[in-house]
Amino acid sequence: MKLKPLISFIIPVYNGEKYIDKCIKSILNQTVKKFEIIIIDDGSKDNTFNKCKYYQSKYDNIKVFTQENQGVSTARNNGLKNSSGEWIIFVDSDDEVVEDYIECVLKYLDNESDLLLFEYGLDKKNNKDISNKIYTETYGEDKKSDLIRCALDNNRISEKWGNISLRSPCARVYRKSLLDNHNIQFAPKVKMGEDLLFNINVYLNVNKVKYIKKVVYIVYERNDSVSRDYIDNMDEVDKLFYDNLYKILDKHNLSKEIWTLYYKESFVGIMRCMKYQYFNSKCKLSYSEVKKRLNNMIVSEPYIKAIDITKKNSSLDKKIIAWLLYFRLFYILKVIYTIKIIF
């Protein structure tokens, strides 16, 4: 009888033939072998799927699935659906993990923790320096709001925390039963901030979180990655994200501070829309259409309250933007974003 793996590594990949080998090999090189690898090919147009199938033919702990191109969220959800490990680790296909990742995980697993948070490094050289300074910090029910607060604020919990993102699903280990019992999945229709939605849902439902100051995950910046400076439906993408975030938060009795951070984050969304859509040089909308759409945006929630809060309590540049929006001085905003004075 085949033993159930302790850990499931889930790798979503799209057109990753140039780097998927390094990613898979970094997992196969683990010092402890109690794992399976679930690879979800998101309808790649290159040779990615064939490369993954090759590894599946050589290793019985590798499973490869393919889907029509539906995005990383659906790919990760399919990975969860087909995983059998007690713990879940997400790895992006162009990144790597260190060889003692699982060995380190085994040291800190317990019956109460639902989530282990680790650090990431930008290359393997940095890992040698940081990995000798291991310590743990535990966050229980009384400190759960700290995780949510810092995730919304995109900040560290304390100065002790190093290279760790409370928004990313990578460099962390999730208890599978927590995800299953609370039906926590990635939102397939959300094209921005889906990682944050997933993790906020996790933080709201965890029993205990353990932070281990050790680099286990190596992030690589690829030269061929696409940087988008214009998004023609940024306002729709933005609204969908904040509506979903509101639904998640609204299920729990959260403090005024958390809700203030939600609205401050929503204000950043308005600024993002002005930068990447409304006042972008590539925008094909007429100025009158931009004014109409921007006005429709700021007279709806969560943006009404977001502007009101930002006017009173924020940095000077955001206060200026908030007051200009409040008085509908869109032309001045257009000038500001055209010459890139703010944001």
pLDDT at position 164, please? 80
Q: Percentage of the chain surpassing pLDDT 70?
A: 90
Residue 1 has pLDDT above 60, yes or no: no
Per-residue exposure over 102-124, b if at least 16 CB sit within 10 Å of its own CB, e if not: bebbeebeeeebbbbbbbbbeee
CA distance 140 to 145: 10
pLDDT at position 242, please? 97
Contacts of 278 (CB under 8 A, 6+ apart): 235, 285, 290, 293, 294, 337
pLDDT band at residue 132 using 50, 70 and 90 as cut-offs? very low
Query: Whole-model pTM?
Result: 0.92
Poorest-pLDDT segment among 39-43, 95-99, 137-141, 332-336: 137-141
Rounded (5°) CA angle 61-107-152: 90
Poorest-pLDDT segment among 22-31, 113-122, 132-141: 132-141
pLDDT band at residue 125 using 50, 70 and 90 as cut-offs? low
* Number of H-type helices and E-type strands within the chain: 14, 9
pLDDT at position 221, please? 74
pLDDT at position 223, please? 65
Q: In terms of pLDDT, which residue wins out, 190 or 143?
A: 190
Give the single-character DSSP code of 17. T
Neighbours of 127 (CB within 10 A): 20
pLDDT band at residue 129 using 50, 70 and 90 as cut-offs? very low
Convert the pLDDT of each residue in 284-339 to its tens digit: 999 999 999 999 999 999 999 999 999 999 999 999 999 999 999 999 999 999 88
CA distance 193 to 205: 19
Residue 131 has pLDDT above 50, yes or no: no
Poorest-pLDDT segment among 24-28, 74-78, 123-127, 264-268: 123-127
pLDDT at position 146, please? 84
Q: In terms of pLDDT, which residue wins out, 332 or 341?
A: 332
Residue 128 has pLDDT above 50, yes or no: no
CA distance 24 to 146: 34
CA distance 9 to 88: 6
Convert the pLDDT of each residue in 195-214 to its tens digit: 999 999 999 999 889 988 88
Q: In terms of pLDDT, which residue wins out, 156 or 56?
A: 56
**Could you give the domains of the chain?**
7-218 (3.90.550.10), 234-338 (no CATH)
Averaged pLDDT, 132-136: 56
Q: Crossing angle of helices 316-326/303-312, nearest 10°? A: 130
Convert the pLDDT of each residue in 60-79 to its tens digit: 999 999 999 999 999 999 99
Looking at every residue in the chain, the average pLDDT score rounds to 91
Residue 113 has pLDDT above 50, yes or no: yes
Cβ atoms of 46 and 14 closer than 8 Å: no
Q: In terms of pLDDT, which residue wins out, 331 or 144?
A: 331
3-class DSSP state of 246: helix
Strand 136-139, strand 209-218: pairing: antiparallel
pLDDT at position 135, please? 58
Cβ atoms of 3 and 32 closer than 8 Å: no
Give the single-character DSSP code of 193. S
pLDDT at position 157, please? 67
pLDDT at position 153, please? 87
pLDDT at position 224, please? 60
CA distance 24 to 6: 18
